[in-house]
Chains A and B, each alone.
Chain A
Amino acid sequence: MIWWKRRGGRLEKEIQTHIDFETQENIEAGMSTEAARQAAMRKFGNVPLAVDKSREVWGWLWPERLWQDVRYALRGLKKSPGFTVVALLSLMLGIGTSISLFSVVYGVLIAPYPYSRPNEIWAPAVLGANDSARFWHPYPLREFVEIQKLSSFAEVMATSPRPVLLTGGTNPESVNGVYLTGGAFNFIGVKPVIGRTIQPFDIHAGGEPDAVVVLTYSFWQRVFNSDVHALGKKIVVNDVPYTVIGVMPPRFGWWTNDSFWLPLPMHMADDTFVHVIMRLRPGITKQVAEQQLNELNIRLAAQYPREFPKGHLRTVLLNYMDITQASGQMSASLHLLLVAVGLLLLIACVNVANLQLARTTARAREIAMRLAIGAGRARLVRLLLTESVILSVLGGALGVMFAVASTRIVVALIPPDYVPNEARITINEYVLLFSLAVSMLTGILFGLAPALRSSRPDLVETLKDGGGGATGSARAQTLRNWLVIAEISLSVFLLAGASLAIRSFVQVLRTDPGFQPERVLRMDLTLPPKQYTSLEQRNMFDRNLLQSVMSLPGVESAALGNGGMPYSNWRSSYSFEGQPSSDDRKIIVSLISSQYPQTLGIPLKRGREFTEAELENGMHVALINESAARLWPSGEDPTGRHMQIDALIGPTPESVFKAAGITPDVTIVGVVGDIKNAGLGDATVPAIYLPYTMFGPPDRQLAVRTFGDPMTALNGVREKVRELDKDLALGRPVTLDEVLGDETQQPRFTMALLTGFAALGLSLAAIGIYSVISYNVSQRVHEIGVRMALGAKRGDILKLVLLMVAKVAALGLVIGLSGSIALERIVRFQVFAKASFDATSLAMVVIVLAGTAMLAAWLPASRAGNLDPVAALRHEA
């Protein structure tokens, strides 16, 4: 760069010499020194222009010109700090929040999995004649083997998670072991950090697997302190030592985040149900594969009718991307938030556009002056464009910084159970590119339009006009007003959305769960099937445990159960009063001990509880909830009636024991109150409670109601469990308050973010209104002066300005509100199942917005009111 600068210096010197020679000649011709110099200068013409043109010959001018433009633009921005700060702030908030929310959406919805080709993974769903819901259909192992043989699928793998007992450490632990078929890791296609993954050869021809295990990253960290020498070491799972063969990377979380994967024993006689996923063979369409699988399903259903829905079967392949944790509620609320952040970005852009427009109009005189003294139109447009691009690039840079901070906040707020294990939310290169595109586009769009317009003004008029005047920019004024109206209506959308989110959150908080969650501690217990090998043995353990826990000081009551604490996932078809059972109707089945209603605080509405004798002997008696009682016509008392619960005689895994001679027939002895057994947001499902001694699964939950802080009872309970069985693992203890708290996470997340966005949107809109109104006032100073001189009072001027705002705000409110009400019908079903607009929340939106608009207008209005009429009349804008 130095050589062309030197060339520039030499040229200027040369031209100086030239002018000197000319001056000398003029003096010799008899002119005075001063006149001689001036004549010489005149004769030469524009020196810098000549220098520029000479240098242009060498083609090295553009970096210098660009640098000039940049310097000039920076100087211009520094000279109007108010404009710069507001524009940068708008861009920062708009761009920053869009980046961070887009990052979240990308991490959670678009690319949550590190698996190879995740969008080509399919999961089968089998539908009966009347089913509409599509659930991942579990197959028994022997059917999985049949699926593997189908020609439509290139790869098929199965997963079977089971609670396993981990011993050998300080305390025995119950963890979720994930059993996988031999080809599973190759199907998923993720490389281990160290060692190797489970391979087909780890499972022998007879189905017996080698005792090998692949660890999750966090298990490796926790148990082996990330030691590379963990390979070859052993961990004891269900009393069998397994050799560690590999460790997976941190983001890999197939069905578990913190335990390990084991090879699945391929024993066809087992009643093991597995979750199957598959990839299609190349060239095979989804329809062909579905048809082939459906034929197999029909064949299997003929053989094992209990494992399939009744009636005409249909088979559908679900894309794995559609059945993640983030599908349902989380996906809906993220999409909603994405819309919200889009609105925020729009508001920010409108703000910047508005400011640019106002600024270029104010600079019309300056621009006209530049054109008049010979600036090229192209050059001028380039100058203005440089200015807005610099502004937007700076705004984009600030936005990225803001995004880094706000992504942390969003990640902290995000409810962990609603996103896949594998999801990692970071600001990645796609998102950065997106932000760059957004910021550049904003700059160019809103820089170019005013730049083009203002570079073609009527020079004479603009210069004469003194650059201001109320008449000069009527069209620009209308445009600016519409921009403010747009801003206000966009803010109304945001506020209305936030008010819905708040309402639905409050509604969830206020929902009566039907039981009393205070002071109740709950923990999971798993009896190892290999040690507790009969129903009597398990029942004996349960009886002893209940007795010893109830003897603890501070314990009000205690109950054991499988399901009903408060949620259950065991559902069964049923029949009663001689009607046939149907797959369409399901009842929740829970196994309970005595004192269950007292421990959870569920009222008995009718009839009686189980007697000790009924519990002791596993008699076929039952309690039902009120929803189930309503299955009978109103006025009829269901107590003493009979029901048939199909699941009692259905197929069960080998680890579950049934009482000898069990029949599906139970007698109803009492009715208890409804509890929210399907989640706080959903309607209560009919439920039936049976004595725990009828049916013995290995898993149970212990609930303890205490007099004081429930956590203080924990050590006593631990002690009692250890006395009964020192190797028994106790799961993580939780209070029922915490369980209910988890339910509010999702609505809290949506509410917090929507409210945050609405607040940001509102403040941006306020800034927008403020800047437009102050600009208007400054343009109308002369007019206001005239009005005052003619006798207008301060109040009249205030009214004039505020009325101007009120008109614009009212129009914005009307548009925004009618739009929101129309949109509500769409949004409502997706996110806020129960909440809807009411007069109060709409009134709140109106008050908040109108208040903000008036507040934003007050400052410029009172400034106008306080104008000195004399000064105002002299004012030439």
Chain B
Amino acid sequence: MTTREIDNELELLQGTLDLLILQTLAFGHAHGHAIARSIERRSEEVLQVGHGSLYPALQRLLKQGLIVAEDGISENNRKARFYRLTAKGRKKLFAETSKWQRFSDAVARILAPLAEESK
């Protein structure tokens, strides 16, 4: 991996992956690969999800009862595991999102003058 790539693709902060997965599933059920692609696309390929780290995160959410898994058929007619938000997961997503919003606003306000200067 070259230096340039590292600059452009942001490593995910610990714990944020869980939130991103929940957010992705808010639009409906999806399988693992679709979740990974969706996160990448919606962050305009800036956020790089290590596909390997997706699965421990999914298991973690399953265990906490925030999502459930079921077998289904994918868009290209293959059997796959689909994940869906539970009511508890939806509540959690809402709470976490507003918390994240407040946090990132705060950080942005502190960093804003610097960001302006460097432009």
Scan residues 8-46 of chain A and give those whose CB is less than 8 A from a CB of chain B.
10-11, 14-15, 17-18, 20-22, 24-25, 43-46
Question: Which of A22, A45, A58 is in CB contact (< 8 Å) with B63?
Answer: A58
Tell me how many residues of A have a C-beta within 8 Å of chain B: 25
Tell me how many residues of B have a C-beta within 8 Å of chain A: 22
Verify if A55 is at the interface (C-beta below 8 Å from B): yes
The answer on a CB contact under 8 Å between B51 and A22 is: yes
The answer on a CB contact under 8 Å between A46 and B52 is: yes
Question: Which of A11, A20, A45, A56 is in CB contact (< 8 Å) with B51?
Answer: A45
The answer on a CB contact under 8 Å between B33 and A17 is: yes
B58: A residues at CB distance < 8 A: 54
Per-residue interface assignment for chain B, residues 35 to 59, with 1 indicating a CB less than 8 Å from any chain A CB and 0 otherwise: 0110000000000001111011011
The answer on a CB contact under 8 Å between B55 and A14 is: yes
Verify if B74 is at the interface (C-beta below 8 Å from A): yes
The answer on a CB contact under 8 Å between A17 and B79 is: yes
The answer on a CB contact under 8 Å between B33 and A57 is: no
The answer on a CB contact under 8 Å between A20 and B81 is: no
B51, B63, B78, B80 interface centre (most CB from chain A within 10 Å) = B51
B59, B63, B74, B76 interface centre (most CB from chain A within 10 Å) = B59
Verify if A47 is at the interface (C-beta below 8 Å from B): yes
A51 to B81, CA, bound (A): 15
Verify if A50 is at the interface (C-beta below 8 Å from B): yes
Question: Separation in Å of the B24 CB from the closest CB of chain A?
Answer: 15
Verify if A722 is at the interface (C-beta below 8 Å from B): no
Verify if A49 is at the interface (C-beta below 8 Å from B): yes
A834: B residues at CB distance < 8 A: none
Verify if A53 is at the interface (C-beta below 8 Å from B): yes
Q: A57-B59, A57-B63 are in contact. Are A20 and B78 (CB under 8 A)?
A: yes
A43 to B79, CA, bound (A): 22
B74: A residues at CB distance < 8 A: 21
Verify if B29 is at the interface (C-beta below 8 Å from A): no
A58 to B63, CA, bound (A): 7
A43: B residues at CB distance < 8 A: 51
A46 to B59, CA, bound (A): 17
Q: Which residue of A lies closest to B34 (CB)?
A: A21
Question: Which of A14, A46, A49, A53 is in CB contact (< 8 Å) with B32?
Answer: A14
Verify if B31 is at the interface (C-beta below 8 Å from A): yes
Question: Separation in Å of the A374 CB from the closest CB of chain B?
Answer: 13
B76: A residues at CB distance < 8 A: 21, 24
A15 to B33, CA, bound (A): 9
The answer on a CB contact under 8 Å between B33 and A18 is: yes
The answer on a CB contact under 8 Å between B51 and A54 is: no
The answer on a CB contact under 8 Å between A18 and B51 is: yes
Scan residues 474-490 of chain A and give those whose CB is less than 8 A from a CB of chain B.
none
A57 to B81, CA, bound (A): 18
Q: A22-B51, A45-B50, A45-B51 are in contact. Are A17 and B56 (CB under 8 A)?
A: no
Question: Which of B33, B34, B37, B52 is in CB contact (< 8 Å) with A45?
Answer: B52
Q: A44-B51, A47-B52 are in contact. Are A18 and B63 (CB under 8 A)?
A: no
Q: A18-B33, A21-B33 are in contact. Are A53 and B51 (CB under 8 A)?
A: no
A50: B residues at CB distance < 8 A: 52-53, 55-56
Verify if B60 is at the interface (C-beta below 8 Å from A): yes
A11, A21, A25, A47 interface centre (most CB from chain B within 10 Å) = A21
A53: B residues at CB distance < 8 A: 53, 55-56
B60: A residues at CB distance < 8 A: 57
The answer on a CB contact under 8 Å between A17 and B31 is: yes
Q: A57-B60, A58-B63 are in contact. Are A17 and B55 (CB under 8 A)?
A: no
B51: A residues at CB distance < 8 A: 18, 22, 43-45
Scan residues 409-423 of chain A and give those whose CB is less than 8 A from a CB of chain B.
none
A714 to B59, CA, bound (A): 93
Q: A55-B59, A57-B60 are in contact. Are A17 and B53 (CB under 8 A)?
A: no
Question: Separation in Å of the B20 CB from the closest CB of chain A?
Answer: 17
A14, A15, A22 interface centre (most CB from chain B within 10 Å) = A14
A58: B residues at CB distance < 8 A: 59, 63
9 pairs from A and B in contact (CB 8 Å cutoff): A11-B55, A14-B55, A21-B76, A45-B51, A47-B52, A50-B53, A53-B53, A54-B56, A57-B60
Q: Which residues of B line the A interface, CB within 8 A?
A: 31-34, 36-37, 50-53, 55-56, 58-60, 63, 74, 76, 78-81
* Interface contacts beyond A17-B81, A25-B37, A44-B51: sample of 11 additional A-B pairs, CB < 8 Å, sorted by A: A15-B55, A17-B31, A22-B51, A45-B53, A51-B55, A53-B55, A54-B56, A54-B58, A55-B59, A57-B59, A58-B59
- Which 5 residue pairs are nearest across A and B when measured between Cβ atoms? A45-B52, A21-B33, A50-B52, A57-B59, A53-B56
